[in-house]
Amino acid sequence: MNQALSPGSSVDPGSSVDPGTSVDSGRSIDPGSSVDTARPLLSTTLHLPSGEAQGWVVVDRMVDGLAMGGTRMTATVTEQELAHLARAMTQKLALVGLPIGGAKAGIAPAPGAPVQRADLMRAFGRAAAPLLHGGVYLGCDQGTTYADRQTAFDAAGYDVAHRPGATRLTVGWDELWTHMADITGYGVAVAVLGALRAAGTRTPQRIVIQGFGTVGRAVARHLADHGHRVVAVADVRGTIEDQRGLPVADLTALTSSDGTIRRTGLPTTARVHPPGRAWLQVDADVLVLAASAAAVREDTVSEVRARTVVEGGNMSCTEPARRLLRAAGHTVLPDVVVNVGGAAATGCVLAGLAPSGLPLPRLSAWLRAWIAARITRNCELVQELQTSGSTDPVAQLLTAKGVRQDPVA
């Protein structure tokens, strides 16, 4: 994996596009006032094997013939949840200046049904093929992997590299994403580092990470590489705490692909808390939420000790909780600003913004610098607006970009 670049790093002086150049030319994401913006543009049920699973695709908006989002596979996913996530994707992409609308797909396996994963993903790919070929890109999300995505793409006969107008790659899509597996966590870490710089922080900070999956592990590694101290991590089995700092590399080696940490082999100085909200109450400077939605709710705000709360996952705080945290003096970096790395990297390729023909290391460096610059700037704007008294800085940023924010019907 390439060494993380600072937002100001020079990446490719010979490229046709400067990673610091905005591509937002004032284009409105919404197609016009006649559109009912309280409803998605499209919401459709997929025909998956009867009795094995339900599936949906929700497209919030199309922009320049494109929409994108991940495919979520959980037992509880619903069409309404997907509509909210697709709307959030529209907002994420608008905030980084990408001319692409938001979408989301969902697969809900039937309880107790004997489902063969590869067969299910092939069925999903065949059902979603008309949308994929029609400009709706469906990548990975909670419960799906890069391998699942490739299985679906193969079944659909879809290859993003052959899409007209997309960046021409020198490697396969799967190889690019193997190389960029940490990109969402990298973007979250960039947001944390930017917030600390803006606050004038010059000493190592104590970090708590709720959720130690792909995003949480990447955040931990990048922040530890910058000298900060990860004092607690939480998974489904509880919270592991050590105020002297946890060894991130060793902890990662003890972690399964689903983010569960093996308790044998932990440092002898580590304190292990049972399942619950111990991660909220750990003495720390920064709390990174990288697991479930609504991890911080209105009734748990008073338990938050960290001064900076970062939503590394989707909808990690409820909206009332965000308002209460800000009113109590916490800095809140919301999901639509910081949880955008994977989407932004994909969007740069889909929209043809990333330079074509770059070898993999240079393309990776270009994408990282582009993403870092935009996340850093948006975090600065959020903090400036919050300091000036704004109760909803993200809404102000979206309004400035012409993005309507009606609640999803």
CA pair distance 129, 156, nearest whole angstrom = 5
Catalytic entry in 104, 149, 222, 229: 104
CA pair distance 198, 214, nearest whole angstrom = 27
104 is catalytic: yes
Contact 165, 352 (CB under 8 A): yes
Question: Can you spell out the DSSP letters for 143-156?
Answer: T--HHHHHHHHHHH
Q: What is the CA radius of gyration of the chain?
A: 20
Torsion angle of alpha carbons 196, 199, 204, 208, nearest 10°? -60
194 burial level (CB within 10 Å; 0-12, 13-18, 19+): buried
CA distances from 38 to 17, 30, 57, 273, 322 (A): 35, 11, 17, 43, 22
- Residue ranges in 276-359 assigned as alpha helix (H): 278-281, 319-327, 335-338, 341-350
Query: For residue 252, how many other CB atoms are within 10 A of its CB?
Result: 16
CA pair distance 151, 145, nearest whole angstrom = 10
Query: Quick one: tokens of 308?
Result: 């900076």
CA pair distance 260, 282, nearest whole angstrom = 20
Query: Quick one: tokens of 104?
Result: 């989301």
Count, residues in the chain: 409
Nearest alpha-carbon partner for 342 in 30, 29, 66, 71: 71
Contact 206, 283 (CB under 8 A): yes
CA pair distance 404, 153, nearest whole angstrom = 32
Contact 279, 239 (CB under 8 A): yes
Continuous segment of H or E residues that includes residue 286 = strand 286-289
Q: Catalogue the active-site residues.
A: 104
